[in-house]
Amino acid sequence: MALTAMAEQQQFYLLLGNLMSPDNNIRKQSEETYDTIPGQNKITFLLQAIRDATAAEEVKQMAAVLLRRLLSSSFEEIYPGLTLEMQTAIKTELLTSIQQESTPNIRKKVCDIAAELCRNLIDDDGNNQWPELLKFLFDSVNSDSVNLREAALHIFWNFPGIFGNQQQHYMEVIKRMLVQCMQDQANPQIRTLAARAAASFVLSNESNTALLKHFADLLPGILQSVNESCYQGDDSVLKSLVEIADTAPKYLRPNLEATLQLCLKLCADTNLTNMQRQLALEVIVTLSETAAAMLRKHTAIVAQSVPQMLAMMVDLEDDDEWAMADELEDDDFDSNAVAGESALDRIACGLGGKIILPMIKQHIMQMLQNLLVLISCHCLNSELQCRSMKIKCICTSTPY
């Protein structure tokens, strides 16, 4: 019996490998075979693959992705039909895997599975039917192990509703947990994850005004993490800030000036990537659409963002074929020029032309003056060159 089970597991490993095959026919046939396996058997095989220390990393990754997908799409069809013993075993195996897995990427994917399972185990009354995960969360976030603290924060970031109807009871604990991790000076990755988790929690409670006010003092830490992480090549917290500006802009009100100043600084820094600069600008532009009244109180900072948008609009790469192109290439939609143009259009619509037009005119006139100086210099150089070559200058129409 054991040999049969081992042989079946090995066959399943081959199947997982074939699901990643670059050959379309092999992959399609493997997908059809995978679909015929009963749900309970899939869970068993996938968990075994994830927990198998001898399995190839890509096999374990595929198993983790498939198990999360299975719990997400077919939970009601599979999980309630499992025996209580099987359900308990799944929970235990996931928590054990998180604690023992040495590969960070696999551990993160197992955390995603645990978060997905927990999301489905919150009943209609808000009861969390996996209390062991909450205990694991509290124990891990206070652990000396950086890996376990990362795991706890990743689960909370993925599913901030993990406390269910006990959230109000644990409110102070949640806040202390996030503050503690955001102040971890020894581990920047913990600070980044804590900031993302805090943002995720705010977003999941966007309509709870009292909660947003209670967690307002976490925002300076989030902003600090935005700044730090951007200069480490990570824009994940900045993306979270964009989401807050879009969904819960009132959360930013107590620190709106600091938020705008930070975004303005990041947008102006050409040492950052174009995407990071565009995301920083996106925070300001999004606020003009979701919280125009708030932003109108900070027109001085808005005025400073206008030249950044104009500068982006003229940030064009030399392309001899550009004038002949009928349509924009896909890459063009991500360019600074397109982002700057779109931002200017949106902020003008959001705040109104009466506010934005004078700001634009001020800088446009300066840009035109600079352009005229540039043209004059070019013409002067051309005239001198033509005079030396004794030909007619096209700039001055003077024959030499």
Q: Is the pLDDT of residue 277 over 70?
A: yes
pLDDT tens for 11-65 read 898 999 999 999 999 999 999 999 999 999 999 999 999 999 888 999 999 999 9
Comparing 219 with 369, which gets the higher pLDDT? 219
Which pLDDT score, from 0 to 100, does residue 3 have? Answer: 45
**Residue 349 falls within a domain, yes or no?**
no
Cα 396 from chain centroid?
A: 55
From 42, 78, 64, 80, select the one nearest 112 (Cα to Cα). Answer: 64
Q: Is residue 107 part of a domain?
A: yes
Q: Report whether pLDDT(144) > 70.
A: yes
372 domain-assigned? no
User: What whole-number distance in Å separates Cα of residue 35 and Cα of residue 16?
Assistant: 12
Nearest to 52 by CA among 20, 86, 5: 5
Asked if the structure places residue 27 within a domain, the reply is: yes
166 contacts 128 by C-beta, under 8 angstroms: yes
Q: How confident is the model at residue 360 (pLDDT cuts 50, 70, 90)?
A: confident
pLDDT surpasses 70 at 333: no
- Kindly state whether residue 83 falls inside one of the protein's structural domains: yes
In a domain, 57, yes or no: yes
In whole angstroms, give the CA distance from residue 208 to residue 277.
31
Confidence tier at 315 by pLDDT (50, 70, 90) = confident
Contact 62, 20 (CB under 8 A): yes
Q: Which residue has the higher pLDDT, 381 or 278?
A: 278
pLDDT score of 208 more than 60: yes
179 belongs to a structural domain = no
Which pLDDT does position 99 carry in this prediction? 97
How many folded domains does the chain comprise? 1
> Can you tell me the mean pLDDT for 160-179?
96
Q: What is the mean pLDDT of the chain?
A: 89
Percent of the chain topping pLDDT 90: 76
Residue-level pLDDT at 400: 45
Q: Identify the DSSP state of 122.
A: B
Q: What is the pLDDT of residue 321?
A: 62
CA–CA separation, 238 and 292 (whole Å): 20
Alpha helices in 269-298 (DSSP H): 274-290, 292-295
Kindly state the average pLDDT of the residues 194-215: 97
The residue range of the domain holding 110 is 1-125
SS3 state of residue 128: strand
- Does residue 88 form part of some domain? yes
Q: What pLDDT is attached to residue 8?
A: 80
Question: Cα torsion at 24, 26, 32, 36 (round to 10°)?
Answer: -160
